[in-house]
Amino acid sequence: MAFVTRFAPSPTGYLHKGHAFSALTAWSAAQSVGGRFLLRIEDTDFTRCRPEYEAAVLEDLVWLGLDWEQPVRRQSEHRAEYDAALERLRDMGVLYRCFRTRKELMALAGVAPHADDPNDPHAFSYGPPSADDEAERLARGEAFAWRLSLDAARERLGDLNALTWVEERVRPGIHHAEPERLGDMVVGRKDIGAGYIIAAVLDDALQGVTHVIRGEDLIEVTSVQRVLQALLDLPTPVYRHHPLLLGPDGKRYAKRDKSVTLAELRASGVTPQALRAELGF
């Protein structure tokens, strides 16, 4: 079986060392077995993605010495495909509109909202609104998110914990899906249509990705992606979640923390060879 993997950054900011580590991990894995390495730009959220960030991503990856197959797939150019999948899920009856804001959901759950990605799906959900409440909110033109109903998915698929995937690095072996850990995740929004989680599983299938190599912070999301794969009749790739790169303060590199970017490292005189060596490549 051919080995196909990808690096799929979202152009909502500039790349940092953590991104470099993840990209090099996937690229090196493909190189080591004579496989294929793809670059995908996950820019479904047009409210936060910027052309200048995408240009910087390409510049940084070339500077690191990476190469990839052409053409680069940009999710913003394929929105109709993702929205069709969202509509298919709606027709199955496994989605519902959620009018609560992220802040409201966090407050109800008794925790403080994170200050990073406002589109990051979260575990806290309180089920669909009543028909009357939904009608009133729609009439007022209120914003809403589309959430995947695990109860409805369970009625359609049976025991969701019976869904499995192969993990090659974090607790290697057969993993059983535990989507209840994240609850009814957001899979789309009124203003942008289908979200990244639908786009990612569709693209992995379309591009023939056999191995998804990414940070271990995304391992829980795999359970929900596995449910979407089952609902949409998509193949399940092998997953390889790598440890996160930590900074001197012991925290993982993150855009929200304004981690030093690759562009800043380059401007300070750091060479790609030096950075690759520092990262273990």
Element (H, E) at 228: helix 219-231
> Which pLDDT score, from 0 to 100, does residue 127 have?
80
Q: How confident is the model at residue 64 (pLDDT cuts 50, 70, 90)?
A: very high
Task: Give residue 37's domain range.
Answer: 4-278
Q: How many domains does the chain have?
A: 1
**Residue 251's CB: how many other CB atoms inside 10 A?**
11
Task: Please say if the pLDDT value at position 261 is more than 50.
Answer: yes
Mean pLDDT across the chain? 90
CATH number for the domain harbouring residue 261: 3.40.50.620
Q: How confident is the model at residue 106 (pLDDT cuts 50, 70, 90)?
A: low
Question: Once rounded to an integer, what is the mean pLDDT over residues 113-142?
Answer: 69
Handedness of CA 15, 19, 23, 28 (dihedral sign): positive
SS3 content of the chain, % helix, strand, coil (to 5): 45, 15, 40
Distance of CA 216 to the CA centre of its chain: 12
Distance CA 59, CA 66 (A): 10
Q: Which pair of tokens denotes residue 217?
A: 């912070």
Distance CA 114, CA 197 (A): 19
Q: What is the pTM of this model?
A: 0.89
Q: Which pair of tokens denotes residue 211?
A: 């191995």
Query: Locate tokens 């960030």: which residue?
Result: 53
Q: Three-state secondary structure along 151-171?
A: HHHHHHHCCHHHCEEEECCCC
Closest CA to 123 of 221, 197, 193, 189: 221
